[in-house]
Amino acid sequence: MQDIRIELTKTPKAKPADENALGFGKIFTDHMFLMNYTAGQGWHDARIVPYGPVPMDLSTMALHYAQEIFEGMKAYRVADGSVQLFRPYENARRFNRSAERMCIPTMEEEMFVTAIKTLVDVDRDWVPHAPETSLYIRPFVFATDAHLGVHASKTYLFAIILSPSGCYYPEGIDPVRIYVESRDVRAVRGGTGYTKCGGNYAASIRASAVAEEKGYTQVLWLDGVEQKYIEEVGAMNVMFKISGKVVTPALNGSILSGITRKSCIELLKSWGFEVEERPISAQELFDAAESGALEEAWGTGTAAVVSPVGEMAWNDRSCIVNGGKIGPTVQKLYDTLTGIQWGTVEDTFGWTVKV
Ligand X SMILES: *Cc1c(COP(=O)(O)O)cnc(C)c1O
The binding site for ligand X (CB under 6 A) comprises: 72, 196, 232, 235-237, 256, 258-261, 300-302
Cα separation, 317 vs 91, whole angstroms = 38
Q: To the nearest whole angstrom, how small is the minimum distance from the Cβ of residue 286 to ligand X?
A: 22
Q: Which is nearer to ligand X, 254 or 329 (CB)?
A: 254
What long-range pairs does 277-280 form, CB within 8 A, spacing at least 24? 277/248, 277/249, 277/250, 277/251, 278/247, 278/249, 278/250, 279/223, 279/229, 279/249, 279/250, 279/252, 280/229, 280/230, 280/240, 280/247, 280/248, 280/249
Is residue 106 within 8 A of residue 99, CB to CB? The reply is: yes
Is residue 206 within 8 A of residue 184, CB to CB? The reply is: yes
Q: Which is nearer to ligand X, 83 or 255 (CB)?
A: 255
Give the list of residues 6+ apart from residue 217 with CB closer than 8 angstroms, or none.
176, 177, 178, 211, 234
Residue 71: which of 15, 142, 22 has the closest Cα? 142
Q: Which is nearer to ligand X, 60 or 254 (CB)?
A: 254
| Helix, coil or strand: residue 54 | coil
Cα separation, 321 vs 312, whole angstroms = 8
Q: Which is nearer to ligand X, 91 or 329 (CB)?
A: 91
Torsion angles phi and psi, residue 301, rounded to 5: -175, 160
Q: Which is nearer to ligand X, 133 or 300 (CB)?
A: 300
Cα separation, 177 vs 339, whole angstroms = 26
Q: To the nearest whole angstrom, how small is the minimum distance from the Cβ of residue 232 to ligand X?
A: 5
Q: To the nearest whole angstrom, how small is the minimum distance from the Cβ of residue 197 to ligand X?
A: 9
Q: To the nearest whole angstrom, how small is the minimum distance from the Cβ of residue 99 to ligand X?
A: 15
Q: To the nearest whole angstrom, how small is the minimum distance from the Cβ of residue 100 to ligand X?
A: 17
Q: To the nearest whole angstrom, how small is the minimum distance from the Cβ of residue 274 to ligand X?
A: 22
Is residue 124 within 8 A of residue 31, CB to CB? The reply is: no
Q: To the nearest whole angstrom, how small is the minimum distance from the Cβ of residue 151 to ligand X?
A: 26
Q: What DSSP letter does each residue of 189-214 carry, written as one string?
A: TTTTTTS--HHHHHHHHHHHHHHHHT
Identity of the residue numbered 191: G
Q: To the nearest whole angstrom, how small is the minimum distance from the Cβ of residue 301 to ligand X?
A: 4
Q: Which is nearer to ligand X, 224 or 301 (CB)?
A: 301
Q: Which is nearer to ligand X, 177 or 261 (CB)?
A: 261
Cα separation, 271 vs 39, whole angstroms = 48
Q: Which is nearer to ligand X, 22 or 235 (CB)?
A: 235
